[in-house]
């Protein structure tokens, strides 16, 4: 999608030649005319893969102008992630030249794309020009790489002392990581894999890439906090978040050591017997999550089970007794729930005021109308095709009473898609300069 195909330009970007570009813009700008909270901020996005791009995706969704910088010799590797989407729908392998990796389609939403070969001698100057014009830089190279390429914090600060430079890495800026900062390794090191499952179970690889996702979330908090500090001091700074630290800090909120010291089992699988009845129980066609930790709730559960006598049974008459006899009680609950459809179990529990919810698959969870209505998940389609494969992806899960979130209708389909817009219109390079950089292989 380049200018010829229609790009929605945020009108607050006064540095852009708005009139010219708007003549070619598609007209599906959202009806919500509230500003986005971060409008007016510019982000130079050196990131690739998932952790970094998710940080700049959040900034874009909050209204910042994000300029994604990609190597002209192929761009972000996420462009090669299977599956793809295109004129014929979703496929494991790329079938048409304009098929797009769904990873790229979702993570590059609302971002402008320029090409820049960071190893080219001319790149440092172009990067300095980009940084001079910007508020924020985000990178997630292996620790030390950005400095080596001459696009680290020192270079950005030399061009713009107010710049806020966010580095996401495996173990922290300046901490050697080799090639090891991958989500599945960080999950292993952090202890996160041993938080799920039962006492004798193997570890559990968590299907949500938590390390890849948490580092950028804390990176965004760091960037916004640094903006607040800059308001007082006028100075920028480096913000440095590690995948291991972000995930381990999350794991550390539970009292793992204290529970061990107190002789309490922390890995308890689908249920938690010290809170019994609490956890996930099998139904005829799925599973249900139930919380009945307090007296009234336990009575409600027994009523839903049409077995109110359990409340008088000496094994289950008090909370302490229920905890002491948790296994027996859990077996009784499952003997009941496993005979009924999940929806019916939930209905009967809710009728008694007992908190319960069906365990849904992601596809069903993503379609929850409450979630869709708030833009917490949102549809995504290939920009060139109206074909709707029903794909949903992440939105920005924050509502503002006086602002909106959302993504501009702009996407770097090709590497360097918006070179003209950014290098000419934003940085003021001449046609000859842009041409010379392209000829030299710098962009």
* Residues of span 196-255 touching its own copies by CB under 8 A: 196-197, 202-210, 213-214, 217-222, 224-229, 231-233, 235, 237-242, 244-246, 248-255
In the bound complex, what is the minimum distance in angstroms from residue 179's beta carbon to its own copies?
5
Minimum distance of its own copies from residue 379's CB (angstroms): 11
Q: With respect to its own copies, which residue has the nearer C-beta, 38 or 437? A: 38
- Whose Cβ is closer to its own copies: residue 191's or residue 341's? 191
The answer to whether the beta carbons of residues 187 and 250 sit under 8 Å apart is no
In the complex, the smallest distance separating the C-beta of residue 160 from its own copies, rounded to whole angstroms, is 15
Query: Measured from the CB of residue 312, what is the shortest distance to its own copies in angstroms?
Result: 25
Locate 148 and state its tokens.
């080596």
Q: Which is nearer to its own copies, 245 or 406 (CB)?
A: 245
- Chain positions 141 to 160 lying near its own copies, rule: CB under 8 A, are 153
Binding mask 376-395 for its own copies (x = CB under 8 A): xx-----------xxxxxxx
In the set 99, 135, 212, 240, the catalytic residue is: 212
Q: Which of 132, 267, 319, 321 binds its own copies (CB under 8 A)?
A: 267
Tokens describing residue 421: 């817009």
Is 430 a binder of its own copies (CB under 8 A)?
no
Under rule CB under 8 A, residue 83 binds its own copies:
yes
71, 118 contact by CB (below 8 A): yes
* Residue count, binding to its own copies (CB under 8 A): 144
Residues 42-61 that bind its own copies (CB under 8 A): 50, 54, 58
- CB of residue 409 vs its own copies: minimum separation in angstroms? 20
User: How far is Cα 250 from Cα 258, in angstroms, rounded to an integer?
Assistant: 16
Is residue 106 involved in binding its own copies (CB under 8 A)?
yes
Q: Residue 407 in 3-state DSSP?
A: coil
Check if 212 is active-site: yes
Per CB under 8 A, contacts with its own copies among 394-423 are 394-403
Closest distance between its own copies and the C-beta of residue 170, in Å?
10
d(CA 397, CA 288): 25
Tell me if 398 sits within 8 A of 376, measured CB to CB: no
User: CA separation (Å) from 232 to 41, 43, 68, 134, 225?
Assistant: 17, 21, 29, 19, 11
Contacts of residue 167, Cβ cutoff 8 Å, sequence gap at least 6: 139, 140, 143, 146, 153, 173, 238, 239, 240, 241
Q: Look at residue 98 and give its three-state secondary structure.
A: coil
- Between the alpha carbon of residue 305 and those of residues 277, 289, 301, the distances in Å are 13, 15, 6
What is the phi/psi pair of residue 90, to 5°? -90, 140
Rounded to whole angstroms, the Cα distance separating 182 from 203 reads: 17
Binding of its own copies at residue 307 (CB under 8 A)?
Answer: no
Q: Where does this chain touch its own copies (CB under 8 A) — which range of 24-32, 99-107, 326-334, 432-440?
A: 99-107
Q: Rule CB under 8 A: say whether 363 interacts with its own copies.
A: yes
Residue closer to its own copies (CB basis): 195 or 325:
195
Nearest alpha-carbon partner for 196 in 278, 289, 291, 266: 266
- Which residue spans within 46-153 are E strands per DSSP? 65-70, 84-86, 89-91, 100-101, 111-115, 136-139
Residue 193 interacts with its own copies (CB under 8 A): yes or no = yes
Q: Which two tokens stand for residue 43?
A: 């982000």
- Alpha-carbon Rg for the chain in angstroms: 26
Could you tell me which stretch among 165-173, 305-313, 406-414, 428-436 binds its own copies (CB under 8 A)? 165-173
Q: Which is nearer to its own copies, 213 or 442 (CB)?
A: 213
Nearer to its own copies, 113 or 236 (CB): 236
User: Could you list the active site residues?
Assistant: 212
């Amino acid at each position: 999608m380049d200018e010829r195909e229609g790009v929605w330009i945020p009108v607050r970007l006064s540095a852009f030649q708005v009139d010219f570009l708007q003549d070619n813009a598609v007209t599906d700008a959202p009806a919500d005319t509230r500003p986005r909270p971060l409008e007016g901020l510019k982000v130079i996005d050196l990131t690739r893969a998932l952790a970094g791009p998710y940080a700049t995706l959040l900034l874009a969704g909050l209204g910042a102008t994000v300029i994604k910088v990609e190597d002209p010799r192929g761009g972000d590797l996420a462009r090669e992630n299977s599956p793809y989407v295109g004129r014929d729908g979703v496929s494991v392998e790329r079938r048409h030249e304009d098929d797009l990796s769904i990873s790229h389609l979702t993570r590059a939403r609302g971002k402008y794309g320029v090409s820049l070969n960071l190893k080219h001698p001319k790149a440092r100057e172009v990067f300095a020009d980009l940084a001079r014009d910007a508020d924020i830089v985000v990178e997630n190279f292996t620790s030390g790489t950005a400095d080596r390429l001459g696009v680290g914090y020192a270079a950005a600060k030399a061009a713009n002392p107010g710049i806020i430079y966010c580095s996401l890495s495996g173990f922290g800026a300046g901490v050697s990581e080799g090639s090891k900062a991958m989500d599945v390794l960080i999950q292993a090191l952090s202890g996160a894999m041993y938080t799920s499952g039962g006492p004798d179970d193997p570890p559990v690889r968590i299907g949500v890439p938590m390390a890849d996702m948490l580092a950028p979330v804390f990176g965004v908090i760091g960037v916004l906090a640094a903006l607040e500090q800059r308001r007082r001091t006028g100075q920028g700074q480096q913000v440095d978040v590690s995948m291991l630290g972000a995930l381990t800090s999350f794991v550390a909120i539970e009292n793992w050591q204290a529970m061990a010291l107190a002789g309490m089992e922390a890995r308890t699988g689908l249920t938690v017997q010290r809170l019994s009845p609490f956890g996930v129980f099998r139904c005829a066609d799925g599973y249900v999550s139930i919380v009945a930790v307090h007296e009234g709730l336990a009575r409600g559960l027994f009523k839903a089970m049409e077995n109110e006598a359990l409340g008088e049974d000496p094994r289950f008459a008090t909370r302490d007794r229920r905890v002491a006899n948790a296994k027996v009680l859990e077996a009784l609950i499952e003997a009941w729930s496993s005979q009924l459809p999940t929806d019916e179990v939930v209905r009967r529990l809710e009728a008694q005021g007992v908190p319960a919810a069906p365990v849904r698959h992601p596809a069903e969870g993503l379609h929850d109308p409450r979630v869709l209505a708030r833009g917490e998940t949102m549809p995504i389609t290939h920009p060139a095709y109206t074909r709707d494969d029903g794909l949903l992806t992440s939105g920005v899960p924050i509502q503002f009473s006086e602002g909106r979130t959302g993504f501009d209708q702009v996407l770097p389909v090709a590497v360097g898609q918006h070179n003209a817009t950014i290098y000419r219109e934003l940085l003021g390079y001449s046609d000859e300069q842009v041409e010379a950089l392209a000829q030299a292989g710098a962009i």
